[in-house]
Structure 1
Amino acid sequence: MSENKITAEVRTEFGKGAARRIRRADKIPAVVYGHGEQPTHITLPGHETMLALKHSNALLDLQIEGGRSTLALVKDVQRDPVKRFIEHVDLVVVRRGEKVEVEIAVHVTGEAAPETFVTVEHQTLLVEAEATHIPESVEVSVEGLRAGTQIHAGDIELPPGTTLVTDPEALVVNVSQAMTSAALEAELAEAEAEVGIAHETSEQAAAAPAGGSPAGDTEQE
């Protein structure tokens, strides 16, 4: 993973009002902590930070005003629940050569055998890696796999220098038999019957008069 060099400013104003002013200036409030250091409240440039955060487990080389350089790993990103803009970023100090535990995404590639259904039971894996060499993701190929195939965490080949922390027996990818349309219809009919939903048969519909009146009713003159 490449490092993102970002210039940061020390933040001296706090509270919701200050945070709004920071965001209006296209900057992002953040805090960096770890390794026994006192937490440092900073502001980050909005555009550069958003570009860096497009990558999971982003590593930032912070150039903090005053000449201080700090290597930090993104720990948490808080976003507005509606507009999705970044409200705050938590960063943890790391050292070159230091091992850290992070979660990396599982990406499934390829096409399983016909009439199968692929389920990803674990979207991420917890691994240990050197702070400056954290893989963004791991690929798991299901190309040609038949129904009944299961891939566990311990079966997945990780990049060099990366160690699995997740339980090796944890099921990550499951390839099962796809349900046929007939089986799906039968299951739907059974579910409807359980809740009392009844459908008219085609013969009943044909026997009904065009106007929708019950059979046997005649119009009185």
Structure 2
Amino acid sequence: MGPTSFDLNLLSLWSPGWGGVLLAGLMRSLEVAVGGFLLGLLIGIGGASAKLWGGKVLRDLLEVYTTVVRGVPELILILILYYAGTDAVNKLMLVLGLPSVDISGLAAGIFVIGVVQGAYSTEVLRGAIKAIPAGQLEAARAYGMSPLLSLRRITLPAMLPYAIPGLSNLWLIATKDTALLAVVGFSELTLVTRQAAGTTKAYMMFFLAAGVLYLLVTLLSNVILGAIEKRARRGLSREQAA
């Protein structure tokens, strides 16, 4: 079978088809994307808060973090974080007198995607917080709310309409960044597609199939995120929503 051959039986969910393998790879990609996006969101909330209200040293450290991550190609960052991160954990375990651990590819993938996402989330959320009308935050302080309570009950809900467009883009980036994990041997959609294509020599068909799966994820994500954004902007005036 040539590189451009199309035998749809090879996409069957059952042997000798590879459809089930591709779907399993897609699910692993989505697991990493969801985990990395949520980790990045947590980092972003902490980073944005620290950049706005933290001390000078902390703000400077976060500025270095966001600048480096946004300035270095993501593939290079993934290679560094994947190998150096797992090595650093095992060295720490050795210092503590504990046995080394075998970090799963899933956990390592979530970590590296999360660190990359965190830098971008920090800037998205910082901009969203600054877009909140100052009167709302002043009212929270006037009522004697602590910074943590104000963040939970006022800042995070109020910034959501401003943050969703940027976070939506970050989610779509996360789904595509999982493909970069193929270079470190993580068995996600791109790697299993390459394996299927290499075994069957039907390169065109399998890579087109992978492209369709990524596109379907994007289209479904756009529908869901659009509904979330529409709901979050219900109470905004036309000027605020623009």
Q: TM-score, normalised by structure 1?
A: 0.25
Structure whose alpha-carbon radius of gyration is higher: 1
Q: Which has the higher contact order (CA 8 A, sep 6+)?
A: 2
| Bigger helix fraction | 2
TM-score (norm 2): 0.24
